[in-house]
């Protein structure tokens, strides 16, 4: 792969998580004098509200404005709205909220801000793939954007190292980590199938659990998997457990649509 040249555009996709915050920092340090580095966020209403506070802090830390990119069809950027309109919360090929609020929002931003092709010369993408996510980054480069700069992987920064980096920089991480969620995604992320995850949501955010249970029953989406069988959230035993929360493989919500659910239950 070639490397960025003077005047190229680098879009850093910031998802309000520690990894993409550090990815933005490293990109600005390395390419800020050479390229036009744009830091862009796709908001989702169902994320914890403290994510917005973190975004403002990161903006000050980076010294750049973080751009807001949302799908013009969904100006409220509400996943609940997407699920109602699309008639489901999780389909075999992926979650409709990722497609509508991340992928299509990103495509609209690219169309408005990048002359030429976002896959072509003069344009680069940076995602928050940590050093432990090399397979995912490789797959992403193969299937979505070959012009992706793996800045965290090259720096050997894992997601945990990114978390420590922002703490050492004096930033207060998003509250969602303190609440023991595996990432800064929406509370009650519909890509999760783990009973451990959903019972954690039930305990920490009972109102979100109740809302997801009601909507998923109404729309016929069985979000949780127990003993290899999909069941409705309102059927989940409050004592059911899968893998420990800390071991769930749940990367930050893909700005480039994840085709498969990412959290697996045992
Ligand atoms: S974090 Fe989960 S619920 Fe939120 S937009 Fe992404 S896939 Fe949907």
* DSSP-derived pairing of the beta strands 229-231 and 224-226: antiparallel
| Ligand 1 binding pocket includes 101 (Cβ within 6 Å) | yes
Q: What is the pLDDT of residue 250?
A: 65
CA of 4 to the centre of ligand 1 (A): 31
Query: Which pLDDT belongs to residue 146?
Result: 87
Among 113-117, 183-187, 216-220, where is mean pLDDT lowest?
A: 113-117
Ligand 1 within 6 A of CB of 223 = no
Per-residue pLDDT tens for 34-53?
999 999 999 999 999 999 99
Q: What is the pTM of this model?
A: 0.88
44 Cβ closer than 6 Å to some ligand 1 atom: yes
- Domains along the chain with CATH numbers: 9-175 (3.40.50.620)
Model confidence at 1, pLDDT cuts 50, 70, 90, reads: low
Residue nearest to atom 3 of ligand 1 (CA): 189
- pLDDT, tens digit, for every residue of 174-215? 999 899 988 888 999 999 999 999 999 999 999 999 999 999
- Return the best residue to mutate from 42, 71, 95, 104 for the ligand 1 pocket (most ligand atoms within 8 A of CB): 95
Q: How far apart are CA 28 and CA 168, in angstroms?
A: 18
Cα–Cα distance, 77 to 65 (Å, whole number) = 20
Say if CB 102 and CB 257 are below 8 A apart.
yes
Residue 143 is inside which H or E element, if any? helix 134-143
What pLDDT is attached to residue 263? 33
Tokens for 60, please give them: 């000050």
Average pLDDT, the chain: 90
Residue 190 Cβ < 6 Å to ligand 1: yes
79 pocket-lining for ligand 1 (C-beta < 6 Å): yes
């Amino acid at each position: 792969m070639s490397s960025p040249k003077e005047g190229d555009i680098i879009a850093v996709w910031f998802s309000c998580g520690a990894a993409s915050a550090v990815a933005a920092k490293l990109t600005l340090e390395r390419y800020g004098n050479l390229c036009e580095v744009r830091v862009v966020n796709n908001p989702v209403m169902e994320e914890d509200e403290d994510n917005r506070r973190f975004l403002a802090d990161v903006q000050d830390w980076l010294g750049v404005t973080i751009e807001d990119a949302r799908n013009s069809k969904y100006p409220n950027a509400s996943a609940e709205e997407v699920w109602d309109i699309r008639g489901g919360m999780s389909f075999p090929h992926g979650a409709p909220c990722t497609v509508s609020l991340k992928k299509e929002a990103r495509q609209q931003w690219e169309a408005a801000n990048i002359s030429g092709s976002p896959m072509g010369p003069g344009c680069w993408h940076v995602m928050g793939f940590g050093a432990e996510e090399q397979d995912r980054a490789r797959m992403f480069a193969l299937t979505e954007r070959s012009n992706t700069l793996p800045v965290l992987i090259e720096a050997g920064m894992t997601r945990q190292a990114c978390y420590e980096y922002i703490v050492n920089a004096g930033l207060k991480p998003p509250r969602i980590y303190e609440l023991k969620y595996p990432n800064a995604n929406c509370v009650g992320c519909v890509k999760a199938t783990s009973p451990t995850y959903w019972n954690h949501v039930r305990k920490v955010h009972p109102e979100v659990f109740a809302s997801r249970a009601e909507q998923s029953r109404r729309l016929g989406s069985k979000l949780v998997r127990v003993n290899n069988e999909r069941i409705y959230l309102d059927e989940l035993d409050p004592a059911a457990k899968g893998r420990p929360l800390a071991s769930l493989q749940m990367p930050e919500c893909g700005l480039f649509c994840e085709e498969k659910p990412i959290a697996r239950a045992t």
